[in-house]
Structure 1
């Protein structure tokens, strides 16, 4: 096991790029002491830790286009654009079984990042057992406006990317001197401010949780500041960065399987291409 942090950005269906990188890591037996997953990054983290090569890709690609998985129909009938019953029960327990036992044997630390919508703070939930942790993975991936709030105990959560899109500072605070960061956004990407209509809808929808509106309004600046920090650290050799080299023109809710498979392959090949440099950095 490598004494370093692995930070996985979200990005909806763009997370299939990360699945490709992580499958290469599995092929090479690369394990990290601390893994931090946000939103789609939290989902891919699970199959990586359970050592189920290919499962990350499968969960992004195999069910797109099905009304019961990701659809306007699901949003209108359940309140979640990603159907909760299918995503967090039917798929992991029946259609593409998750290896809960192998996951539990992981000797490192796995964190799902969630946003507490009452405090406006990111919380980093250590997940040792996915039987107990599945709701946190769901919460980490619950996009505002197209997902219900997720109640766990006495707390309400939404997507971890609202408060901390790329938790590199958390990994550093946990003592990791070396970090590998996998981004789903291409070289040169800068986040644009949230649109006025979207912000207006958020203000109304989360009227009782004003921190959500405040975070979404500030998210552009927070994200771009973090991206600037990561790119500078990478240039100085202080962290290792993997990301798409070109914009794959994939929507957050992409349903084109050919595009998704191509982005998966790009992730795998990028990791393969930079393998020697990665291992040199991690020495």
Structure 2
């Protein structure tokens, strides 16, 4: 069997040292099963021994892939998408009308993947560059806000669970430090602004997104809005519901700025034929999405070789 993450040797490389782009900050978008694309990118980076980072910031599935990559365990994310998340107990679409049962079983995901037979190497993770993990802090006395949980300071398992807790797909909230958290992608799905606010320059940053270039999000359908509004009908959630219903505008503004304002930031996009969605369970689409991530990463590292 030929594994897509193994690379051929190029005879022309033997006498010349490869020079890769000098970057400092890696930004990783999530998006459920679309996280297979950044996982392919990071598999390529691992195989090329490309670890120049001072900081990694990830959201949702991007945070999982980024954490595994920095811990030198990208196989954890790769194997999760190829087997455990596809064939395990992670996605329960039958629970879509339930008010209590999860559609995404994040407890199972953490126990099976991150704490599994080959658990996350916490010692290595703390030794390497910090990983910031986005999470949305739910407040009853004001609008939700983005919190950046820290791989060296916060509980990594709770952080990875919180950033992936998509509203309604995960029923309830992730509790941590006396606060309630949900999906980090709700307010800051592509957190490059955090890096700029921390003083990094545009040319220092590489962003990996999980939608093809030119994509723009539409408002949620009537049925999705109805599910949200019914589930979060308590008045104390009105700010949360408003954020969910307006999320498409915020997301599109982030993309607009990335493409037209912060043009010094490098971005790795999936190709137009990337066909993985949030809840995709088609093995062929998942494998193709991974291979596309590997290819696009090679194009970034070695543009003179990969067209």
TM-score, normalised by the number of residues in structure 1: 0.89
Structure 1 window deviating more from structure 2 (69-78 vs 251-260): it is: 69-78
Task: Tell me the C-alpha RMSD between the 2 structures.
Answer: 2.3
| Structure 1 consecutive aligned stretches of length 4 or more whose deviation exceeds 4 Å | 73-78
Residue 21 of structure 1 deviates from its aligned partner by 0.6
Provide the residue aligned with 1:231 in structure 2: 259
CA distance in 2, matches of 1:162, 1:140: 9
**In the alignment, structure 1 residue 29 sits paired with structure 2 residue 29:** no
Match for 2:156 among 122, 133, 136? Answer: 133
**In the alignment, structure 1 residue 98 sits paired with structure 2 residue 120:** yes
Contact 1:80/1:147 (CA < 8 Å) preserved in 2? yes
Q: Greater Rg, structure 1 or structure 2?
A: 2
Residue 96 of structure 1 deviates from its aligned partner by 4.2
Match for 1:158 among 143, 166, 182? Answer: 182
CA distance in 2, matches of 1:48, 1:262: 20
Residue 165 of structure 1 deviates from its aligned partner by 1.2
Tell me, which stretches of 5 or more residues in structure 1 are unaligned?
279-283
**In the alignment, structure 1 residue 46 sits paired with structure 2 residue 72:** no
Provide the residue aligned with 2:9 in structure 1: none
Q: By percentage of residues, which structure has more helix?
A: 1
Match runs of 1:5-154 below 5 Å: 5-31=25-51, 32-66=53-87, 68-72=89-93, 79-106=101-128, 108-118=129-139, 119-128=143-152, 132-148=155-171, 149-154=173-178
What secondary structure, in the 3-state scheme, does the structure 2 residue paired with 1:113 have? Answer: strand
Tell me, which stretches of 5 or more residues in structure 2 are unaligned?
1-21
Provide the residue aligned with 1:4 in structure 2: 24
Q: Paired residues, what number?
A: 274
Contact 1:5/1:35 (CA < 8 Å) preserved in 2? yes
CA distance in 1, matches of 2:58, 2:115: 21
Cα distance change, pair 53–161 in 1 and its aligned pair in 2 (3 A): closer
Provide the residue aligned with 1:281 in structure 2: none
